[in-house]
Amino acid sequence: MNRTLYTALFYLGLPLVAIRLWLRSRKAPAYAKRIGERFSYGMPTMKPGGIWVHAVSVGESIAAAPMIRALLQRYPQLPITVTCMTPTGSERIQALFANEPRIQHCYLPYDLPCAARRFLDRVQPKLAVIMETELWPNHIHQCAKRGIPVALANARLSERSARGYGRFAKLTGPMLAEMSLFAVQTEAEAQRFRELGARAQTVEVTGSIKFDLTIDPQLLQRATELRGQWQAQERPVWIAASTHDGEDEVVLAA
For residues 82 and 55, the answer to whether their CB atoms sit within 8 Å is: yes
Tell me, yes or no, if 37 is annotated catalytic.
Answer: no
Question: How far is Cα 180 from Cα 133, in angstroms, rounded to an integer?
Answer: 15
For residues 66 and 208, the answer to whether their CB atoms sit within 8 Å is: no
Question: How far is Cα 80 from Cα 129, in angstroms, rounded to an integer?
Answer: 11
Count CA atoms closer than 13 A to 239's CA, side-chain side: 4
Q: Which of 114, 137, 109 has the alpha carbon at shortest distance from 5?
A: 137
The b-or-e profile of 150-183 (16+ CB within 10 A means b, else e) is bbbbbbbbeeeebeebeebeebbbbbbebbebbb
Axis crossing angle, helix 159-166 with helix 169-177, rounded to the nearest 10:
110
| Catalytic residue (choose from 37, 60, 132, 178) | 60
Name the residues annotated as catalytic.
60
